Chain A
């Protein structure tokens, strides 16, 4: 009833929206939200491929578990960094944190 294409197009759309969020937003936390959208699109993709192509083997599900773990770790460290940057520079606009630019 629902072919694989529906899920793949949905995941591609979510990925593109997340990409726009990463590239176009100034606030660092908003950029991180875009990254979360991209990771969710990846998860939908991985699980759709698992369900439609190899539902007997569980490799796709193990992949998804790893993506969950990595996403959680990355958000935690990223937000800690943002808070630390905010304490020193009093800003988290991505274009104002430019001390390393030449």
Chain B
């Protein structure tokens, strides 16, 4: 009763088989229909996201935001879409036409691909593959490819430079992200997202808060959002790799970035906040969808909060942060989690008990305390080095008496 999606699917299947189609063809048609429905649903939410973004940034900046078109400005995104559609579609001279047009499509398509594995409810799921976590990493890597294609095919030095920097940043932040993604996999004993949600009787956020934090930071860096947006901010490198894109193609990049932020929030909710879990979600699956989107929008709001509160990081600070801080920390975290898990649970699929939760949480707090102490020591040494007595260059005075004696 509480699962309309599967009920409609079953009714359609009976209808089509009753019309005489073979079961194989029916499965293919229903799968294609499911893909279409999910892509449309997600893209429509994307339009809503434009409104959410503008209202929230306005409130953070102590102003009202769009409020003229429709109640609370809800028609504003439609006006934005119409504006983008009627703009002139320019392809720069010397640009590689096919790659130039393919790049924004790839940027949006890779984001849509991620929604295929996110479990909306115990029974509503795109594809239950048992390597879903790795699939999400793979599709994220494809997004990087779209950016390189955009930067190179624009026939513009600044676009290429912006694309290089963006890809360097994304590739650097993929490393701690993949390492930290191992933590929920260790805790849930599976890489499938449905299995990870099923084993979250206690949310993994409480079992591994540092892992959640690192995943959030690296995901924001993968998105290219502030404070990691040196590559596409309007005041840097003239808007980066999408300078030459006009009209709806730019709209695809922009909407793709917002949708990517929501997708990353949904993945974070699935991995660390329990996904569709909530009161009565087992009996009424449609509530699972509500819970998941609630959590996803909350994390999306946190991401926006971070964006509008922090100044931009410089590129060398950004890369140093990833390679010198996040990667060693995530490696230490994974090793500690794995060792503790092996000691407490052994091999096999023992369920997570409360003392296990306390011990994992304690281990995380110990690592956090150790990190803070090490950083404090390092900062103290740096401060002393910067403020201390520095050798000043002096000219070597010639010995005049000797020179005169030589004459």
Q: Do chains A and B touch in the complex (CB under 8 A)?
A: no
B residues near A (Cβ < 8 Å) are none
